[in-house]
C-alpha cells in the first residue's frame, strides 16, 4: 500500500520546520554567525555600526531590561554623572523627585532611547516626543517669565537646552558674566586638570623609550625601512620624514610600533620575542596602547573605534550613514 500523500506532506513539513528551527537556533547561539536576521528593525545612527554584534548590547540572550540597562551604563556611564549630565540617576533617586518617575522612568535609558524603532527615532536616538520636557517642566513659565508662551517642542532649538549636558547655557554662569564684553581682551583657556592624565604619565614605559631625541644613525630597522620604501632614492626622504615626527623627538624608535609584542604571526604560531621579533608593516591601535592607553581607550569609545572595540573590522566610508566626501 502506498504512503498517503497527506502523510508525505506532513512529514516534509515537519522535517523542513525542524531544519529551519535548528538553523535559526545555531545562528542565534553561535558567536561566529551574522545575527542581523533576528533584528526587529534597524539600529539608530549611534549604534548601527554594531549590527553584526548583537551581544554588544544583548549580553544575555534571555536577559530582560536590566541587562540592556547595564550595557548602556557600561558604555555611557562615565558621561552620565555630574557635571557632564544635568539629569543624572542620582537626581531621580532622590525621594523628593519620586513623583517625576510616574510620568517617565528617567532611571532607564530605554525610556528615551529605544532601539529598532526607526519610525520613532529622532536626532540623538531620541524615541520620545520632541516636547518630552513637558512631563517635568510644565510650570517653567511661573519660575521663568521669559519662557512664557514658548512651546515645549522648542526646548532644543538653537541649542537652548540639552537634557544630558546643559552646561552650554548654564544660567548662573551667564548671569555672572552678563556685563562682560563678548570677547575677552586676552584669550585664555581653562586651567587643565592634569590629575586626569596622571595614570598615563605614570604608566609611560620610560625604561624602554627614554625621552631623548633620536638621530638618523639610531634607526633600529634600516633594512626593513629600505624594503618598505622600495626605490632607494626615496629612502632619504623617508628617514627625514621619520626624524621630524614627535616619536623620533621622544626617543620612540621603529621597533616600538612595528614589532608585535607577544603576538602570533599570521602565517604560523611563532611568537614575537626579543630574540625572534615579528615585524608588522601595518600596526593597529593595539601597538599604540603600550604608550597611549588613555587615548586608545577613549578612541574605542567613540564612533571611529567602537567597531574595533567589539572585535569587528574598522568602519569604512561605505558603511557611514552620513554622506562622505569623495576625497
Q: Cell 534571555, residue?
A: 62
The DSSP element (H or E) to which 91 belongs, if any, is helix 89-93
Q: Identify whether residues 163 and 201 lie together within a single domain.
A: no
In a shared domain, residues 52 and 178: yes
The reply to whether 326 falls in a domain is no
User: Average pLDDT for residues 306-320, to the nearest whole number?
Assistant: 89
* Domain co-membership, 290 together with 240: yes
Question: Cell numbers at residue 239, please?
Answer: 628617514
Query: Do 174 and 201 share a structural domain?
Result: no
Which of 164, 184, 204 is the last residue before a domain boundary? 184
Ranges 3-17, 67-81, 272-286: which has the least confidence: 272-286
Does 165 lie in the same domain as 142?
Answer: yes
Q: In whole angstroms, what is the distance from residue 72 CA to residue 86 CA?
A: 17
| pLDDT top residue among 19 and 271 | 19
Q: Rounded distance, CA 306 to CA 298, Å?
A: 10
Q: What is the pLDDT of residue 182?
A: 82
Cα→Cα distances 65→57, 62, 111, 253, Å = 11, 10, 11, 49
For 120-167, the pLDDT digits (tens) are 998 889 999 989 999 889 899 998 898 898 999 888 876 788 888 887
**How many other C-beta atoms can be found within 10 angstroms of the C-beta atom of residue 122?**
12
Q: Are residues 198 and 179 in the same domain?
A: no
Contact call for residues 84 and 77 (beta carbons, < 8 A): no
When pLDDT is cut at 50, 70 and 90, the band that residue 181 belongs to is confident
Co-location of 82 and 163 in the same domain: yes
Alpha-carbon dihedral sign for residues 68, 74, 76, 79: positive
Asked if 158 and 213 sit in the same domain, the reply is no
Q: Which three cell numbers stand for residue 56?
A: 554588544
In a domain, 22, yes or no: no
CB of 155 within 8 A of CB of 136?
A: no
Q: Would you state the torsion angle of the CA atoms of residues 303, 304, 305, 310, taken in this order, to the nearest 10 degrees? A: 60
Taking the C-alpha atoms of residue 53 and residue 58, their distance in angstroms, rounded to an integer, is: 9
* pLDDT band, very low/low/confident/very high, at 115 (cuts 50, 70, 90): very high
Chosen domain end from 158, 184, 210: 184
The answer to whether 258 and 221 are in contact (CB under 8 A) is: yes
The residue from 166, 184, 202 where one domain ends is 184
> Could you tell me if 64 and 121 lie in one domain?
yes
Q: Does residue 319 belong to any structural domain of this protein? A: no
Please count the other Cβ atoms lying within 10 Å of the Cβ belonging to residue 224. Answer: 16
- Examine residue 213 and state whether it is found in any structural domain, yes or no: yes
DSSP 271: B
Nearest Cα to Cα of residue 137 among 167, 110, 160: 160
Q: For residues 215 and 62, what is the distance between their CA atoms, to the nearest angstrom? A: 59
* Per-residue pLDDT tens over the stretch 158-175: 678 888 888 777 778 788
Here the cell at position 179 is 556685563
pLDDT digits (tens, 9 = 90+) for 245-260: 988 988 888 888 888 8
pLDDT at 271 over 60: no
Which run of H or E residues covers position 73?
helix 65-76
d(CA 300, CA 260): 20
Considering only 102-106, 232-236, 288-292, which range has the smallest mean pLDDT?
232-236
Residue 194: pLDDT above 70?
no
The answer to whether position 221 is within a domain reads yes
Return the sign of the alpha-carbon dihedral for residues 89, 46, 72, 69.
positive
**Structural domain of 146:** 41-184
Domain total for the chain?
A: 2
Do 142 and 233 belong together in one domain?
no
In terms of domains, do 177 and 52 share one?
yes
**Which pLDDT score, from 0 to 100, does residue 266 have?**
42
Say if CB 300 and CB 306 are below 8 A apart. yes
Confidence of residue 268 (pLDDT cuts 50, 70, 90): very low
Both 209 and 268 in one domain: the answer is yes
Is 16 inside a domain boundary? no
In a domain, 29, yes or no: no
Measured between alpha carbons, how far is 301 from 294 in angstroms, rounded to an integer?
A: 11
CA triplet 305, 31, 269: central angle to 5 degrees?
Answer: 80
> Of residues 25 and 94, which shows the higher confidence score?
94
- Among 2-11, 54-63, 81-90, 99-108, top mean pLDDT goes to 99-108
Asked, for residue 20, whether it belongs to a domain, the answer is no
Amino acid at each position: 500500500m502506498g504512503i498517503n500523500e497527506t502523510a508525505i506532506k506532513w512529514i516534509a513539513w515537519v522535517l523542513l520546520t525542524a531544519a529551519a528551527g535548528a538553523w535559526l537556533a545555531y545562528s542565534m547561539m553561535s558567536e561566529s554567525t551574522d545575527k542581523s536576521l533576528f533584528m526587529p528593525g534597524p539600529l539608530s545612527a549611534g549604534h548601527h555600526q554594531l549590527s553584526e554584534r548583537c551581544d554588544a548590547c544583548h549580553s544575555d540572550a534571555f536577559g530582560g531590561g536590566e541587562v540592556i540597562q547595564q550595557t548602556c551604563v557600561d558604555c555611557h556611564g562615565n558621561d552620565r554623572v555630574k557635571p557632564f549630565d544635568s539629569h543624572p540617576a542620582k537626581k531621580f533617586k532622590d525621594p523628593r523627585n519620586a513623583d517625576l518617575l510616574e510620568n517617565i522612568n528617567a532611571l532607564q535609558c530605554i525610556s528615551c532611547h529605544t532601539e529598532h524603532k526607526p519610525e520613532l527615532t529622532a536626532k540623538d536616538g531620541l524615541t520620545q516626543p520632541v516636547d518630552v520636557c513637558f512631563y517635568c517642566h510644565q510650570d517653567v513659565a511661573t519660575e521663568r517669565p521669559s519662557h512664557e508662551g514658548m512651546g515645549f517642542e522648542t526646548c532644543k532649538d538653537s541649542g537652548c537646552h540639552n537634557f544630558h549636558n546643559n552646561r552650554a547655557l548654564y544660567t548662573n554662569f551667564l548671569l555672572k558674566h552678563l556685563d562682560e564684553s563678548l570677547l575677552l581682551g586676552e584669550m585664555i583657556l581653562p586651567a587643565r586638570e592634569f590629575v586626569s592624565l596622571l595614570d598615563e604619565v605614570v604608566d609611560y614605559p620610560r625604561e624602554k623609550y627614554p625621552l631623548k631625541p633620536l638621530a638618523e644613525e639610531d634607526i633600529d630597522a634600516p633594512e626593513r625601512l629600505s624594503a618598505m620604501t622600495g626605490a632607494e632614492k626615496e629612502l632619504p626622504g623617508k628617514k627625514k620624514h621619520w626624524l621630524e615626527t614627535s616619536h623620533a623627538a621622544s626617543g620612540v624608535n621603529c621597533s616600538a610600533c612595528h614589532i608585535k609584542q607577544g603576538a602570533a604571526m599570521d602565517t604560523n604560531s611563532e611568537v614575537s620575542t626579543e630574540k625572534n621579533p615579528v615585524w608588522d608593516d601595518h600596526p593597529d591601535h593595539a601597538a599604540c596602547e603600550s604608550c597611549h592607553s588613555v587615548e586608545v581607550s577613549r578612541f574605542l569609545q567613540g564612533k571611529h573605534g567602537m567597531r574595533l572595540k567589539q572585535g569587528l573590522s574598522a568602519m569604512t566610508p561605505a558603511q557611514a550613514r552620513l554622506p562622505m566626501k569623495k576625497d
